[in-house]
Amino acid sequence: MRGQITHIIFDVDGLLLDTETMYSEATQAIVDEYGKIYTWEIKQKIMGMPALQASTKLISELELPMTPAELMTRLSVKVKQLFPFCNLKPGAEKLIKHLHEHNIPMAIASGSTEEHFLLKKQKHGHLFDLIPLLTFGSDPQVKKGKPDPDIYLIAACKFGDEKRLDTDNSHILVFEDAPNGVESALAAKMRVVMVPDKRINISNITQPDQILDTLEDFRPHEWGLPPFV
């Protein structure tokens, strides 16, 4: 057995919802105007970061002639038109429903904003309503975004188990798709399952506890959770 897990925290973009392609298309449409290419090498560096942090990093990487605020505004206009149509990633619905049926506490820790999250969940409200504890990169309590541990520590506090946060969080399992998110969760002393996009280079990242091709490959019993029947 890999561990004795009692609580679950999910990332959202690229993990539960297929939104990363939407971000990529919208970003490329903007940088096209300056003859730039938004490569996966660059995308990997900013995945999971809050909008301001990601925009600042992207402008630096591509030497774009705009402010982070300008980039955030333009990008938000484009993605807000796409988010209501996003689909679930394979295995997401089965896993969330299974954990809910067995009363496993669940939370979300997303570097995105709450406004964007509400658009993304429009088609999937029945599922996301099963996860009551929400923390976003836009929350004022999150002083530093992923890869810093703030967002996962704040999410864990919502389980009502603050006394353990500075010592041992190995009872919490985090699901992530981004290298920054993996680093964030590991820095919070949690266990991590990574489900990366196949285009992410995982050879030079901080290694999670487990890497899966898809959430469909997750076996709850390996982590001390109720097994699929």
Give the strand pairing for 190-194 and 7-10: unpaired
* Residue 188 DSSP SS3: coil
Determine how many CB atoms are found less than 10 A away from the CB of residue 51: 22
The secondary structure of 138-170 as a DSSP string is TSTT--S-TTSSHHHHHHHHTTT-GGGTTT-EE
32 given a catalytic annotation: no
Peptide linkage before 147 cis (omega within 30 of 0): yes
- Within the chain, residue ranges assigned H as helices are 20-31, 40-46, 51-62, 68-82, 92-101, 114-120, 125-128, 150-157, 179-187
166 given a catalytic annotation: no
Residue of 13, 139, 177, 209 marked catalytic: 13
**CB half-sphere exposure, 60, CA atoms < 13 A:** 8
What length does the chain have?
229
Radius of gyration of the CA atoms of the chain, in A:
17
Residues tagged active-site: 11, 13
